Amino acid sequence: MKFFLDTANLDELRRGAAWGIVDGVTTNPSLIAKEAKPLEEHIREICGIIYGDISAEVVSTNAPEMIVEGRRLAKIHQNVVVKCPLTRDGIVATKTLSSEGIRVNVTLCFSANQALIAAKAGAYIVSPFVGRIDDTGWNGMDLVRDILQIYRNYGFNTQVLAASLRSPTHVSQAALAGTHIATMPFKVLDLLFNHPLTDKGLAQFQNDWNKAFQPAPAGG
Ligand code: E4P
């Protein structure tokens, strides 16, 4: 399973990149807006920090403008994946951009039928939003499992990206489901490292080592 960081914050991306386990980045208009920098320059900087798929989302809402915007985003860097929303216009744009060889991440997916539509339009990635579904009282990971099964049934190549992940449990559930990619905030990636027994075990090893090998204090 690929790990993507769901952030446009360059410091977080640099810290994640240093760990060597980040395979790509997802951004969205809200994440980009938080950083308050010109979009193209910002996406180019992200591409310089993480080598992998970098999703950049269109903000137009009608297909002709999404197509123009998508082409412009794809020109920023070879690793840019254009994000289009799962609307009728977004799907028209996905079909056109995909047929031109531009890779599209169809975002804001909340149902199995929507995911089926994204795959039929030639999406490179589909993004079901797990956490936002959980917020409504339904189980977001059930949707991820359903999409994976449907894509297996018909041999679709579209990758399933579990998005809107809020916790380490979400990440391991996504891995158990067999999702291709999990995108997560930096905070969640950081939490994946933690286990109290790792800390306890390390403290004990260091203590035992120091007791055996440290020279006795002078005059002792
Ligand atoms: C995915 O590409 C989206 O940017 C993201 O996962 C949305 O997450 P949120 O529901 O925490 O905003």
pLDDT band of 214, cuts 50, 70, 90 = confident
> In the chain, how many domains are there?
1
Residue 207 falls inside a structural domain: no
For residue 199, is it within any domain? no
CATH of the domain at 15: 3.20.20.70
From the CB of 54, is ligand 1 less than 6 Å away? no
Distance 201 CA to ligand 1 centre (A): 35
- The answer, yes or no, to whether any atom of ligand 1 lies below 6 A from the CB of 110, is no
Indicate which residue of 2, 37, 75, 83 is catalytic. Answer: 83
Query: Which residue segment(s) compose the domain that 107 sits in?
Result: 2-194
Separation in Å, CA 55 to CA 136, 198, 199: 26, 34, 35
Domain presence at residue 55: yes
37 is catalytic: no
Q: Write out pLDDT tens, residues 103-123.
A: 999 999 999 999 999 999 999
pLDDT of residue 219: 67
Q: Say if 220 falls within a structural domain.
A: no
Segment 182-190 shows an average pLDDT of 98
- Look at residue 139 and tell me if it is in a domain: yes
Mean pLDDT of 199-204: 98
Q: What confidence tens digit (pLDDT) does each residue in 14-39 have?
A: 999 999 999 999 999 999 999 989 99
Q: pLDDT tens, 51-87? A: 999 999 999 999 999 999 999 999 999 999 999 999 9
**Cα 163 to averaged position of ligand 1 atoms, centre (Å):** 6
pLDDT at 218 over 80: no
| Residue 11 covered by a domain | yes
Residue nearest atom 12 in ligand 1 by C-alpha distance = 164
User: Would you say the CB of residue 7 lies under 6 angstroms from ligand 1?
Assistant: no
17 belongs to a structural domain: yes
User: Does a structural domain hold residue 117?
Assistant: yes
